[in-house]
Chain A
Amino acid sequence: MVQSKTQKHLFLAFCLLPTFILFLVFTVYPAVNGLYLSFFEWSGTSAVKDFIGLEHYKKLFNDSVILKSIFNDYFFVFTKVIGIMILSLFFAVALTQLRIKEAPFYRVVFFFPNIMSVVVIGILWQFIFDPDIGLINGLLTAIGLESWTRPWLGSMEWALPSLVLPAVWAGIGLFMLLLMGGIMNVSKSLYESAEIDGASEWQQFWNITVPLIWPQIKTSIIYIVITSLNGSFVIVQIMTNGGPGNATEVMGSYLYEKAFEDFQFGYGAAIGVLILAVSLVTVLILQYILKREKVEY
């Protein structure tokens, strides 16, 4: 029996080995190498590297653009978490618990942005926000609110909030499906019992649905946070290139600018390490905040 257990473990280890090697090569090594490069002055285009120790990290603390980028990243995180979670929960509940005949059609419609490239989404929304031919200014003018029209992506105040809209729009479908999966696993008898006891729909949602799909909600929030901190870069790069000024700069776009446009690869690597640290700390804090006893009825 002991021998068979060892063999089983050995077999599992061998099965996991390829994945583990890939993880080491493509995840651990780049991260460690990034940390290593952050101690060097390196253009990223030649073999010449000068060791400068912690200089880049000292510079990070005095870089006003970095502070602005961190603020903007957290703006994305909070607005995306709130926007996506509220809307995807709403649609998930509506499409599972209300008897809507066209539910399968809506599922496809809401999921559609997830199969589109972020580049396409960015360009599409650039047109929507266009000050001259854009849908938003067009609608505002049509309903007599012409004074509200503005160059949305060219405004220091409105550019960042404007970028959240496509990010939320593109994110709803995936999380809606994830939450729908959780809702469909909740036993109908629980709702029937609650109804007999006189619980309102809101009470049913709050006391039955939310606690029972909490693992899915938690996973969704953490996933949105991680993808926001690492992935807002793409939509920013396409729609505003970090501008106007540095109004929409996020850590990812600033990393790109420093490493690939200013040829300061070492400093870019230090920003990369900062992104990793900020993401890790944020996720650990979130894990703690979202910790909740598993509910079973």
Chain B
Amino acid sequence: MNGKAMMKGKRMLIMALILVMGMLSACTSDSSSGDGKEEGKKKSGGADGEIAGELEIQYFVGGYGDGWWKSVIEGFKEKYPNVEIVEHAGPDINTEMKTRWISNNPPDVVYIDGNGSSETQMISDGQLMDLSDWAKALKLEDGSPLLESFISPAEELDGGAIYTLPLVFDTWGVWYDNAWFQEKGWEAPKDFDSWLASMKQIKKDTGIAPFITTGQYPQYFQRGVLNPAFAAAGGEELLNDLSDGVVEAWESEEVMEVMKKVEAMVDAGMVDKGFAARSHTQTQMNFIMHENAYIPVGFWLPTEMKADTPEDFEYGFMPTPMNDDGDAMALVPDIRPVAIAKEAENPEAAKAFVEYLFTEENAQKFAESTGAIMNLKNVDLSKNEQVPEFLKGINDMINNPGSIEIYNRNTPEGKDQKISIEMTDELHVQIVELLMGRIDAEKFVQTMRDKAKELRN
């Protein structure tokens, strides 16, 4: 090798060395700034318990949009000008914030909703602050204790600990087009017999399969039809025991009666044959295009389908009519809670923010912008012109019980938590099999009972 070539080789070597060192240093600086500890140091409350400093909020943006959160945050800023709010929001926010929670550097306040979030899991992992003592002392503007003002009560776990406050009262039920029903002279049913009769009438008049649900996400049928049916048949205890895989519950007569009702719907050809391949949005499109007449979905349906809903379409909502004649209709709320992280950097501001959420004004705004209701009793929506009619009706029903009963699905604890997940997975598979007509009610119940036995053993 001549001198020139050696020089060239050395120069190349040095360049390669610089490149490698540069990459290594880039990696080092990245990892030191990525742990979020520096960020955390900025957050703190003011002196003498003053509500101040940085407050981080994580909220999921789904079918309800983010309009309500934006207005609440604005209102809070006006009330507490020394608090600087950092919002972490979006449809994938639970995934985006996962590393913050794993590294014990979570935001202060979290609204638990959407894919990738689980209240049960967060409690089980010890990520949420015990709010019991603080929440027990909270009062609404009219002086009534907050814990006594919820439609669906705050859950007490571990013998009385409260980790989350129930913010959004979402519930599943069955939807129909009220305008179409009036035009055709069809009546909204009140129990299972009248529901089946109504479906038969609709099929006779139009030739469509009246009922649709999404086969890609069988939880829509589970939460929208089966859970209210189990609750109507056997109350809260049966509902919770079935989900937790209690074998005796799956052997009860009530369960067989419920499943026989579903079988009757399938046998009478009421379920859309294409349901199994359809996603939730596809089924919702079919519903608003009058390809089907009934669909089980939560309160968010009108907001989610707003852009596609025809002008003459009028959303009608009822608690799923799986109850027997003379029995009350059952509602099983799907509560979306709010919580404070156990490792919150600014717990004082976090508590102030959570307390601020539960006001009459915010409850009214919530109903206006989301089409759902906040989990507060006695909020009079009847005079609010921005609130859709179906919501006023359901709000009245909830606040004046009689024709409907509200049943709660409790958060499973300990071993039940894992069993519940496995039972739900099996239930989803069997729901599709049953609705496709591949198995009957007996086989459905037998499979679920066997699964419960296997898990309990």
Tell me if A4 and B98 are in contact (CB < 8 A): no
Count A/B pairs, Cβ under 8 Å. Answer: 109
Is residue A264 contacting chain B, with contact meaning CB distance below 8 A? yes
Tell me if B126 and A46 are in contact (CB < 8 A): yes
Tell me if B13 and A264 are in contact (CB < 8 A): no
Chain B 348-384 interface residues, beta-carbon cutoff 8 Å to A:
none
- What CA separation (Å) do A44 and B429 show in the bound complex? 25
On chain B, the residues within 8 Å of A257 by CB distance are 425
Is residue A196 contacting chain B, with contact meaning CB distance below 8 A? no
Interface magnitude class on chain A: 35 or more
Known interface pairs A4-B1, A156-B438, A264-B421; A11-B9 also in contact (CB < 8 Å): yes
Interface-lining segment among B100-108, B168-176, B294-302, B322-330? B100-108
Tell me if B121 and A243 are in contact (CB < 8 A): no
Interface-lining segment among A14-22, A73-81, A113-121, A184-192? A14-22
Taken residue by residue from 257 to 278, chain A's Cβ proximity to chain B (1 for < 8 Å, 0 otherwise) reads as 1001111100000000000000
Tell me if B98 and A14 are in contact (CB < 8 A): no
Tell me if B125 and A241 are in contact (CB < 8 A): no
Tell me if B20 and A263 are in contact (CB < 8 A): no
Chain A 116-166 interface residues, beta-carbon cutoff 8 Å to B:
126, 129-132, 151-156, 159
Chain B 1-29 interface residues, beta-carbon cutoff 8 Å to A:
1, 6, 9, 12-13, 16-17, 19-20, 23-24, 27
- What CA separation (Å) do A260 and B1 show in the bound complex? 59
- What CA separation (Å) do A155 and B104 show in the bound complex? 45
Is residue A211 contacting chain B, with contact meaning CB distance below 8 A? no
- What CA separation (Å) do A240 and B421 show in the bound complex? 21
CB < 8 Å: which of A44, A246, A262 contacts B421? A262
Tell me if B274 and A151 are in contact (CB < 8 A): yes
Q: Distance in Å from the Cβ of B31 to the closest Cβ of chain A?
A: 11
On chain A, the residues within 8 Å of B279 by CB distance are 241
- What CA separation (Å) do A178 and B163 show in the bound complex? 59
Q: Distance in Å from the Cβ of B344 to the closest Cβ of chain A?
A: 15
Q: Distance in Å from the Cβ of A123 to the closest Cβ of chain B?
A: 10
CB < 8 Å: which of B23, B115, B125, B278 contacts A45? B125
Is residue B53 contacting chain A, with contact meaning CB distance below 8 A? no
Chain B 392-429 interface residues, beta-carbon cutoff 8 Å to A:
421, 425, 429
Is residue A34 contacting chain B, with contact meaning CB distance below 8 A? no
CB < 8 Å: which of B20, B125, B432, B438 contacts A18? B20
Is residue A10 contacting chain B, with contact meaning CB distance below 8 A? yes
Is residue B276 contacting chain A, with contact meaning CB distance below 8 A? yes
CB < 8 Å: which of A14, A47, A152, A262 contacts B277? A152
Tell me if B274 and A11 are in contact (CB < 8 A): no
Tell me if B274 and A48 are in contact (CB < 8 A): no
Tell me if A21 and B277 are in contact (CB < 8 A): no
Is residue B206 contacting chain A, with contact meaning CB distance below 8 A? no
Tell me if A131 and B118 are in contact (CB < 8 A): no
Tell me if B101 and A14 are in contact (CB < 8 A): no
In the A-B complex, the 7 residue pairs with the smallest Cβ-Cβ separation, listed nearest first, are: A154-B276, A154-B277, A153-B277, A46-B125, A244-B276, A14-B16, A131-B274
Further 20 A-B residue pairs, CB within 8 A, beyond A152-B277, A244-B277: A14-B13, A17-B16, A18-B23, A21-B20, A43-B125, A44-B102, A45-B102, A45-B118, A48-B125, A131-B277, A151-B273, A151-B274, A153-B276, A154-B274, A156-B438, A159-B277, A246-B429, A260-B116, A262-B425, A263-B118
